Amino acid sequence: MTAQTGSTMHIGELAERTGLSLRTIRHYDDVGLLPATARTEGGFRVFSEADASRLMLIKQMKPLGFSLEEMADILGLLGTEGTADSADGAGAEGAGPPARLAEFLERAEHQRAKMARNLSQADEFIAMLGQRVR
């Protein structure tokens, strides 16, 4: 495959830029969530700037508890699949992209609120420990 417009990078650079491990990036490639843009003649993965952006979206979704399949669905609905028909038409359940995205948004907001409550509880515990130590 020929080089895309813009710069490309090997997996190590992508890992360094995103803070994700080589193993994680390879896994996302293997399951089809982040397929490499190309491979060198030696078989090494080559990624584009668009791949780096896609990986950052995946990284943002991960703590919200979305499955790999849901992440792929969200990326497709956002039009980051790299295919012409990725953002049009109905999803598997018959809901169009705006409705599906609204469902994912609601779940993300719910999960974020839960995480905020947990963080608040942790802060309270840390403050209590701090008072006892001092």
According to the model, what pLDDT value does residue 84 have? 33
pLDDT in tens, 48-69: 999 999 999 999 999 999 999 9
DSSP H or E stretch at residue 76: helix 68-77
Residue 70 has pLDDT above 70, yes or no: yes
Residues in CB range of 60: below 8 A, 6 or more apart: none
Task: Kindly list the structural domains of the chain, giving each domain's residue range(s) and its CATH number in brackets, ordered by start.
Answer: 8-133 (1.10.1660.10)
pLDDT in tens, 15-29: 999 999 999 999 999
pLDDT in tens, 75-134: 999 986 543 333 444 444 456 789 999 999 999 999 999 999 999 999 999 999 999 998
**Is the CB of residue 29 less than 8 Å from the CB of residue 45?**
yes
